[in-house]
Amino acid sequence: MTDALDQALLDAHARGDTDALIRLYRQAADAASTEQAAGFYLTHAYVFALEAGDPRSSDLKQALVRMGRDTPAPSDL
C-alpha cells in the first residue's frame, strides 16, 4: 500500500467516513501485492459496507467468494 493510500485510510477512519473507507479499502485490495493482503483489505471494505447497508456489499461479497474467502449466499447457489 502506498503511503498516500495509508494516510487516506487513517484520515477516513478519523472522520468516520464510511463511504471513503469502503472505497479506499477496495482500492487497497486491488493494489495489494499478495492475495492474503487483498483478502484482508477486501474483508474490511465488505464489513464497512455491511454496517452501512451500502449496496456495494454485494459486489464485495462476490469478490470474496471468488477468492474462496466466503461462501455464496443460499440464493446464489
Reported pTM: 0.90
Cα angle, residue 31 at apex, residues 64 and 71 outer, rounded to 5°: 5
At 5-62, the pLDDT tens digits run 999 999 999 999 999 999 999 999 999 999 999 999 999 999 999 999 999 999 999 9
**Region of residue 23 (left: phi > 0; alpha: psi -120 to 50; beta: else):** alpha
Residue 23 Cα distances to 5, 48, 57, 62, 72, angstroms: 11, 10, 11, 16, 22
Instruction: List the chain domain ranges.
Output: 3-70
